[in-house]
């Protein structure tokens, strides 16, 4: 009887050991896939191989080819570089960092074709292959389909805080606040007020062809608002914005001090911050809460 009980215990231990190994393998696979998706390894490999293969085919065709690409499916903004040694390099763009996780792919190129080295940050771009040259060119952003998490709220029940560090256009904040007030929204006087539903930090950047968004929490709702604002920009200025970034705010960022009591937060950086563009933000906020 003891022997039989001992064998039973051994079987349980063995089964438990096997289940533990299986669980560990599943965890490691899940961790690997999660990491790959997080750092956009898959998309870097996909775009580099696809573009490199298409350049090789186009160059061997002895014709003129225009290959249009967009990288908006990637979880993070990507940079696309074409090197004169027949190599494509794609890497993630990190905020305030020189870190570069890259993926490279060498393509077959005719020795008689000149490769024009260039770097593209826009998610929309063209690769042109002619009998004499391989080159890149940027394209303006196109309207996107925005995510649709429920954010419906009446203006009378919505409190908004706005901060901007623009010194030359001090009237912009007042204009922004007045137009939101005219629409029925409540304007918070300080970031420390209770019950703030949305905090916007609007900064004038140096790149007049890009608009960048940085969120603190609530990624889906933040992405919805940034998408609406970008679409409004594109509708108003269709040939102006070439690049849009959407990234998580650095925990050590100075902007976090403005996000004390708010439900949703967004930092917006763009050079195209003029009185004529204020309506893009107003309309974006209205659509966000419709």
- Same domain as 86, residue 206: no
Its domain, for residue 62, covers 41-138
What pLDDT, in 10s, does the model give residues 84-129? 888 888 887 764 444 567 788 888 776 667 888 888 888 888 888 8
Within a domain: residue 107? yes
Residues 188 and 233 in one domain: yes
Asked if residue 196 and residue 231 are part of one domain, the reply reads yes
How far is the C-alpha of 249 from the C-alpha of 219, rounded, in Å? 11
Say how far apart CA 103 and CA 53 lie, in whole Å: 15
Q: Does residue 241 share a domain with residue 171?
A: yes
Whole-number Å distance between alpha carbons of 284 and 290: 10
Residues 118 and 171 in one domain: no
| Residue 146 belongs to some domain of the structure | no
| Pair (160, 276) in one structural domain | yes
pTM (global) more than 0.85: no
How distant is the alpha carbon of residue 75 from its chain centre? Answer: 6
The reply to whether 159 and 275 lie within a common domain is yes
Distance CA 243, CA 248 (A): 17
Q: Is the pLDDT of residue 38 over 60?
A: no
Task: Look at residue 252 and tell me if it is in a domain.
Answer: yes
115 strand-pairing partners: 134
**Residue (of 228, 232, 246, 224) closest to 147 by Cα position:** 224
CATH number reported for the structural domain that contains residue 161 in this entry? 3.40.630.40
Total count of domains within the chain: 2
In angstroms, rounded to a whole number, what is the distance separating the alpha carbons of residues 124 and 69?
A: 6
Tell which of 106, 138, 170 closes a domain.
Answer: 138
Phi first, then psi, for residue 94 (nearest 5°) are -105, 145
| Residue 113 vs residue 33, higher pLDDT | 113
Asked if residue 244 lies in contact with residue 212, where contact means CB atoms within 8 angstroms, the answer is: yes
- Pair (197, 76) in one structural domain: no
- Counting beta carbons within 10 angstroms of the beta carbon of residue 50, is it exposed (0 to 12), middle (13 to 18) or buried (19 or more)? middle
- Per residue in 161-215, pLDDT (tens digit) is 988 876 655 567 777 888 889 999 999 988 999 999 999 998 888 777 888 899 9
Which pLDDT band, with edges at 50, 70 and 90, does 228 fall under? very high
Whether residue 239 sits in one domain with residue 281? yes
| 200 inside domain | yes
pLDDT for 199: 93
Last residue of a domain, one of 138, 167, 192: 138
Buried b (16+ CB within 10 A) or exposed e, 202-217: bbbeeeebbbbbbbbe
Residue 29 domain flag: no
Q: Where does a domain end: 85, 111, 138?
A: 138
Round to whole Å and give the CA distance between 125 and 6.
69
Do 230 and 159 lie in one domain? The reply is yes
Share of the chain above pLDDT 90, in %: 21
pLDDT for res 179: 86
Q: What is the pLDDT of residues 42-85, one digit of tens each?
A: 888 888 888 888 888 877 766 678 888 888 777 677 888 888 88
Q: Is there a domain that residue 24 lies in?
A: no
Does residue 10 carry a pLDDT above 70? no
Q: Work out the mean pLDDT of the chain and round it to a whole number.
A: 81
Residue 183 lies in a domain: yes
In a domain, 26, yes or no: no
- Helix (H/G/I), strand (E/B), else coil: 45: helix
Same domain, 114 and 185: no
Tell whether 174 and 66 lie within a shared domain.
no
Q: DSSP letter string over 130-167?
A: -SSEEEEEE------PPP-------GGG-EEEEEE--S
Q: Please give the pLDDT value at position 6.
A: 55
In this structure, the number of other CB atoms found within 10 A of the CB of residue 121 comes to: 17
Contact 120, 104 (CB under 8 A): no
Strand, helix or coil for residue 215: strand
């Amino acid at each position: 009887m003891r022997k039989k009980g001992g064998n039973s215990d051994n079987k349980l231990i063995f089964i438990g050991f096997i289940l533990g190994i299986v669980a560990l393998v599943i965890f490691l696979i899940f961790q690997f896939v999660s990491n790959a998706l997080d750092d956009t390894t898959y998309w870097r490999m996909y775009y580099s191989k696809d573009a490199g293969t298409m350049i090789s085919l186009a160059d061997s065709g002895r014709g003129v080819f225009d290959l249009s690409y967009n990288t908006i499916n990637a979880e993070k903004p990507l940079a696309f570089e074409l090197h004169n040694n027949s190599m494509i390099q794609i890497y993630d763009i990190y905020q305030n960092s020189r870190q570069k996780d890259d993926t490279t792919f060498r393509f077959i190129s005719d020795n008689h074709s000149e490769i024009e080295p260039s770097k593209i940050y826009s998610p929309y771009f063209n690769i042109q292959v002619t009998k004499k040259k391989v080159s890149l060119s940027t394209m303006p952003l196109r309207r996107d389909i925005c995510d649709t998490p429920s954010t419906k709220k009446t203006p009378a029940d919505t409190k908004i805080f706005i901060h901007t560090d623009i010194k030359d256009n001090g009237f912009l904040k007042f204009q922004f606040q007045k137009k939101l007030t005219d629409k029925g929204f409540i304007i918070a006087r300080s970031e420390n007020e209770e019950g703030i539903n949305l905090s916007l930090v609007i900064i004038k950047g140096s790149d007049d062809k890009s608009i960048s968004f940085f969120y603190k929490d609530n990624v889906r709702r933040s992405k919805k608002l940034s998408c609406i604002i970008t679409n409004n920009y594109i509708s108003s200025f269709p040939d102006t914005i070439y690049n849009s970034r959407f990234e998580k705010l650095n925990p050590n960022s100075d902007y976090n001090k403005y996000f004390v009591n708010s439900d949703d937060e967004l930092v917006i950086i763009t050079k195209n911050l003029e009185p004529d563009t204020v309506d893009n933000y107003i309309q974006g906020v209205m659509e966000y809460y419709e």
